[in-house]
Amino acid sequence: MGTSVAIIETKIEIMKTEDISLFHRIVESGGINETANLLSIPKSTVSRRLKALEEELNIKLFHRSGRELALTTAGGNFYQASLTTLKELEQVICDLSHEHAPLTGNLRIQVFPIPKMPTLFNIVLAFMELHPQLDVEIFTSPEPLDMIKYNLDVAFRIDKQIENANLIARPLFESKIHFYASQAYIDAHGAPNDITEMPEHNFIVYRFLDSSAINELPEIDNIAGVKIKGNIHTNNISFARQAALAGKGIVCLPEEYAKQDVSDGKLIRLLSEVSSFTSQYNIVYPSRSFLSLSASKFIDFVLQEIDKLSIEEKERIPEERQWL
């Protein structure tokens, strides 16, 4: 095994790193079609370059059965051996790049929809203004997509979506979260007197397509492990608010997002005497993935721009509703 890995590492040094990167993308995305779609190149090009890499290595990297691909033992060894070596080579190239060289290529960004998305979009547009040769793709989705599979460079996500993910997270800001319900719901079902009564009530529950759900409250005033349930599940906070306004259940919302509804008497904050809990918004990237120069500079730029905001401006970030 040690000898074969050494041979593989020697061959890497004389190969096109682009073809090895393409091989990695096929492994991580799950197939040739997926890779072609992600990279916006013809399927025939992906197949041709994969075949050329196999011929150059003189090994079969994949078992093929129709459209299905499965790594061979040799392919798995090559993937593992080339993973670190390729990243180190790309990092050297990145380090040798001139600090003021123009950024080129693609930057793919996923944004978890939040209030005040225009603030983030303005930061993205300002970054593009500084780097006009860079192509930027932005996808808004509340789903915790696999960043490797979908070829995402960076993503903006809430803390609940990164607890069990192999991601590096840089915090941007926090939102205070409270419980709210309409007067119609309270008239029909009463209001909870404390946190321990929450399981007796109907909640609008946040649930994602992978079946993960925010159905357990964080520790509040030394009370932890309180489960919640409800007959409405959604990954859309705007719909959750609408359902609460319609009297369908209790909802958890950022304080500033619910502020106007509370002022208008449309929503009532529940358990106002208990502490709020917080939700953190982060910029994240895959810890096992090579961070491109454009992604690295973008992350630094976002952190710098967020840091410029005043405390009051950061607290107002969850305020706007034009975000989904």
Q: Distance of alpha carbon 201 from its chain centroid, rounded? A: 31
- The pLDDT of 222-243, averaged and rounded, is 93
Quote the pLDDT of residue 235: 92
Distance CA 124, CA 104 (A): 15
At residue 184, the pLDDT reads: 97
CA 65/CA 176 separation, integer angstroms? 52
Q: Which amino acid is at 113?
A: P
Q: Between 243 and 73, where is the model more confident?
A: 243
CA distance readout (Å), 252 to 59, 65, 129, 249: 55, 48, 37, 10
Q: Are strands 105-111 and 213-214 parallel, antiparallel or unpaired?
A: unpaired
d(CA 185, CA 236): 20
**Which tokens belong to 203?**
């909640």
Pull the structure tokens for residue 305.
């721009």
pLDDT interval class at 13 (50, 70, 90): very low
The pLDDT value given to residue 10: 46
Answer whether 2-96 and 175-278 agree in fold.
no
β 213-214/202-207 pair status: antiparallel
Of 185, 318, 314, nearest to 258 by C-alpha is 318
For the record, the structure tokens of 289 come out as 């993935």
Amino acid at 30: G
What are the helix (H) ranges across the chain?
2-12, 17-29, 32-39, 43-57, 73-96, 117-130, 183-189, 237-245, 255-263, 293-308, 311-316
pLDDT at 97 over 80: no
Percent of the chain's residues with pLDDT above 70: 83
Side-chain half-sphere exposure of 313, counting CA atoms within 13 A? 9
| Interval 155-162 mean pLDDT | 84
DSSP state of 144: -
Indicate the DSSP class of residue 193: S
Task: Give the list of residues 6+ apart from residue 16 with CB closer than 8 angstroms, or none.
Answer: none
- What pLDDT, on a 0 to 100 scale, did the predictor assign at position 160? 74
Region 123-132 average pLDDT: 94
Question: Mean pLDDT in the chain?
Answer: 83
Quickly state the pLDDT bin for 99 (edges 50, 70, 90).
low
223 dihedral zone (left: phi>0; alpha: psi -120 to 50; beta)? beta
CATH (residue range 105-173+280-316): 3.40.190.10
Specify the pLDDT at position 321.
39
Residue 94's contacts (CB-CB under 8 Å, 6 or more residues apart) are 292, 293, 296
pTM of the model: 0.68
| CA–CA separation, 223 and 55 (whole Å) | 62
**41-47 contacts: CB < 8 A, separation 24 or more?**
46/22
Q: Stretch 172-180: mean pLDDT, rounded?
A: 90
Residue 317 has what pLDDT?
A: 52
Of residues 171 and 316, more confidently modeled: 171
Domain 2-96 coded CATH 3.90.600.10: no
User: Domain ranges in the chain?
Assistant: 2-96, 105-173+280-316, 175-278
Out of 117-121, 128-132, 289-293, 314-318, pick the least confident: 314-318
Q: Confidence band (pLDDT; 50, 70, 90) for 7?
A: very low
Q: Which CATH superfamily is domain 175-278 in?
A: Periplasmic binding protein-like II (3.40.190.10)
